A and B are shown apart, each in its own frame.
Chain A
Amino acid sequence: MSLLSIRNVFKSYFLHGKRIDVLRGVSLDIAKGELVSLIGASGAGKSTFLHVLGTLDMPAAGELVYDGRSVFTMNDAEIADFRNRTIGFVFQSHYLLPEFTALENVAMPALIQRRDRTESYAYARALLERVGLGSRVEHRPGELSGGEAQRVALARALVLKPAVLLADEPTGNLDPATGEGIHQLLREVNRDLGITAVVVTHNETLARSMPRRLRLVAGQVTEA
């Protein structure tokens, strides 16, 4: 039984009146607890695929089934809720909100769900300590280094204990050593918390270290 399955998804972009087909009937099943890497050439549509998987982008056609429920047929509020509860995102850039402290940024998904403030902050603090930033909770994103910010972003993605973690080149902006630290964290998250993770990457060696490897070529996803 797959946790997340995507069926026959089409997505095209239109540039100067010309159609560029990015996803051409992609179908894929991901089982619970899997750690999956996705590689492909630049512009092949890796990010688009990840966005469709995370309901950030809407395809032209296709179906997304999570745990037996069809996601695309939900209304806006339900989809936003699905994104909030089920999926954690980590992007190439950290995308932390600059007006808020590291602690508030991590707690943000819980606050969106209108959970109790003190409880959320307590858990967020614990998570920040877990990623090694216990001393930086009151700092704003502008006062953090790239690696630290990315670790805060990872903590934010995990604060609601999502079932799925989608990472879009999480180490793309970092030096190899810091990047390896982030990957180490991702593997631990997958192993210790049982969170299903899909990691898009350019780095072949990193990709090879993942149990399941996928490749996106010509609008189709194949096992690599």
Chain B
Amino acid sequence: MNAERQTVYRWPLLWSGVLVALVGAVLLGVCISQSDAWEQVAGVLGLSALGWGSLIQTLNALGLSAVQSSALRSSVKLVGTQYLVSGAAVWLVGWALIASGIRRAPASTEGPSPAAGSELYPRLAQYRDFYWSTLGAYGGGILLAELVLILLQTFLSSGGGAAGGAGEGGGLPPTGAFAISLIVSSLVAFGCGFVGASRARRLAMPEATIGVIYFGLPVPVLLTLIEQMPDLQVSLGYRLREVTYLAELLGRPVVGYWLVFSLLVLVLVLGINTGFIAAGSGRLDLRLGFELFVARRHVGVFRPSLMLGTLAVLMFGIVPPLIVYGIIRAVEAAVERTRIRALGMKDPLAAASALNTLKLREQSPTMMMTALSVGGVGVGVMALIIVLSVMSGFEEDLQKKILGAHSHVVVSKYAGHLPEYKRLMEQIAKVPGVVGQTPSIDNPVMVLAEGDEVQGIVLKGIDPDTVGSVLDLDKNMLPGGELNYLKTPEKVVPRRAFGGFGSPPPQEEEEEESEESNDPIIGKTTKGPGSKVLPGIILGRELATIMRVVVGDRVNVISPQGAELGPAGLIPKSRAFRVAGIFYSGMYEYDAKFAYILLDEAQKLFSTDGPSNIELLVADVDDARRISNLVSRELGGYPYRSRDWGEIHRNIFSALRLEKLVMGIILSIIIVVAAGLIVATVIMLVLEKRKEIAVLKALGVSDGGIVKIFLAEGLQIGVAGGLLGLFSGLTWCLFIERVGIKLDPSVYYIPALPVKIEPLQTGLAVVIAVLVTYLASIYPALKASSVEPVEGLKAE
């Protein structure tokens, strides 16, 4: 009953104490900087900030790391002892000042109140501050969710532990496994939050904070540290390979860990809140009918005028709809005025009643706020959907082009070549999911054409019979050349003479040229046997442009690989080829850096006894990793190895994914800002409806019911905004897809902005928006439920 303050704070003392302690901390900081010891100290300080310091100290005291810490101390050269001593002293003085500023209030001089001795109001007597079981539920819940995520991910993607060794499947693709494990672990976190909150019948924030910091944080911290600490890597790295593999797909694994951790914490908070709402007043009640009935009257979000107006703003920007609205209102007002005046001429009372109905249509400021919040959420969702769809479009385009020029899986030896490739290919053909394969060899070379244009490129030896089953080369050929000319180079029409290196004498070349201008191909081939036929080469369009060659021209290839012994030592091998075709993949990188020749020619050029790779095409691109593993197992592992495209082109794809993720996070900030608007709107609603809340409580609505009503109001705004954003975002995407937005082809190599609507990602944008608005309405809803009936009824 003694509700009076028991502690008296003397603020001047407290503040000066804080200042003095701060000075002490700065002095200590100076000392640490001078000793260059931040690295050694940072860890301990960081842990202390989270309250782990005492635990570490205890462990140290137990002697577990006594040796290590003494070694550490000797490694730090202490400089500036005067700072250390004075800093420590000032620090202690500061805290002493703070302590002296806190005093127990003097004992009350009044005697006991007349109520002393009678029984305390029962619910006050039951009140408890801390629930160990709730702490257990929250802390255990977040830890359990993390462990479930890791274990399930490992179990699912490695094909179920021990059974996976049998080689029957290799499990789900990692992203699929991750989706399933994330859903399961989210359910675990949600359930534990729900149970904990319904047990305590309150939100129990202290328990949640302690639980998350002490039970939830260690796992992501451990995962973050794995990269930096070799010991951890050795002991844990292999077991966690599925988890780290997936995180590395992002390029920055740490981002992934912490994002997933935040997500789990968010879900835990959702569970806590839902548990409190459902069971906070002592009985589990999940029915919503009445609450929605009231909420819909409070904020009429789903009114056609509001929805259409907001949609118009989303689709066409703010100004055009505003102008149209202004015009409509002006016309309407003019018409109404004329009508009312005409009415008033006959019957003044009829005019008064018409004026009255006109006034009733005016909108309240809360209505305006509601429309703004809906629009805010809508803009966020729309921006997310459009930007992510365009980025997906770019990614898909890039992937298509990369996979057109490269294979899905590449089989090679750790060292050496594959003369036995025919046998390997037979073996690989048995692996389910492999739909095409071709041997190849590639090496960097220089190409040289007339006019001293030297280009460093990658020369790839291919087998024209099978290459079509793996690469898009055949489809990418520009008219004028053909892939099959590689096999029959005599069909290529030499365009003009090429002075310089020629093994064929110049006269012959000129003769050929004159022949060519008169005769068709057939005529030339009949003449052929005498002249030397050069092997064919296929160049990319950009390369051909840079070197100024066309089909039929001669180029020289200089290879450092397979060098020949010359009079002055080793000299690079040089061979002449005739351009048999030009390909255009659309990727500048490939069109400028790749050239193809016959596999046999390449073997001769590079002096090898076989191809260096077997390239595979798989049925499902996203399943390439699993099939790659299967192939590797089929071939018996070492010395063979098999890499999928994700591994080979990891850098570019992880960069793309990271970019998309960061973009998503940045755009989500729009939604968070909109959520701030929702908080403001719902708080305004609560203030406006204090009396109504009190009345509803007097009529028998429980606290949980009030929370539900105002949550429903916030959620209505979120759902309306999400739906409008979804609609306008999809419309814009379709517009971009159908009508197109032109791009400068010399910069992007894509004629128009690509768009790919991914249902999952689009749905996720809406779900995130609704979740954020749900979270945003929690605080105002709790505020609403804490309005005491008496308070609201008094406010007259």
Contacts and interface: CB of A to CB of B under 8 A. Distances in A.
Contact of A25 (B118, B124, B290): B118
Interface stretch (A107-115, A131-139, A174-182, A188-196): A107-115
Nearest to A24: B114
* Closest 4 pairs (CB-CB, A-B): A84-B700, A75-B282, A76-B281, A10-B115
Contacts of A82: 700
Contact of B297 (A59, A73, A100): A100
Contacts of B573: none
Interface in A82-127: 82-85, 89, 91, 93, 95-100, 108-109, 111-114
A10 B1 CA distance: 11
Contacts of B698: 54, 56, 83, 89, 95
Contact of B290 (A17, A63, A114): A114
Nearest to A80: B702
Interface string B277-303: 000111101010110010001100000
Nearest to B703: A76
Interface in B434-451: none
- Counting chain B CB atoms within 10 Å of each CB, the highest count among A8, A82, A112, A114 belongs to A112
B290 A112 contact: yes
- Counting chain B CB atoms within 10 Å of each CB, the highest count among A75, A89, A109 belongs to A75
A155 B287 CA distance: 26
B4 A17 contact: yes
Nearest to A140: B360
A66 interface: no
Contact of A75 (B283, B285, B694): B283
A84 B699 CA distance: 5
B790 A83 contact: no
A19 B282 contact: no
Interface string B690-724: 01101111111111110000000000000000000
Contact of A57 (B4, B287, B702, B790): B790
Contact of B114 (A21, A84, A108): A21
Contacts of A84: 699-701
A62 interface: yes
A91 B298 contact: no
A72 B121 contact: yes
- Counting chain A CB atoms within 10 Å of each CB, the highest count among B115, B701, B704 belongs to B115
B101 interface: no
A47 B124 CA distance: 22
Interface string B113-128: 1110011111110000
B287 A8 contact: no
Contacts, number: 126
Nearest to A96: B695
A61 B1 CA distance: 9
Given A76-B280, A76-B702, A25 B691 contact: no
Interface residues of B, number: 44
A77 B790 CA distance: 18
Interface in B92-143: 113-115, 118-124
A51 B285 CA distance: 26
Nearest to B115: A10
B793 interface: yes
Given A25-B114, A76-B282, A84-B700, A93 B120 contact: no
Interface string B762-796: 00000000000000000000000000111001001
17 contacts: A10-B115, A17-B4, A21-B114, A25-B114, A59-B121, A61-B121, A75-B123, A76-B702, A77-B281, A77-B702, A78-B283, A80-B697, A82-B700, A89-B699, A93-B796, A99-B297, A112-B699
A58 interface: yes
Contact of B282 (A24, A78, A85): A78
Contacts of B565: none
Contact of A77 (B124, B704, B788): B704
A12 interface: yes
Contacts of B283: 75, 77-78
A81 interface: yes
A58 B201 CA distance: 19
Contact of B121 (A62, A76, A78, A81): A62
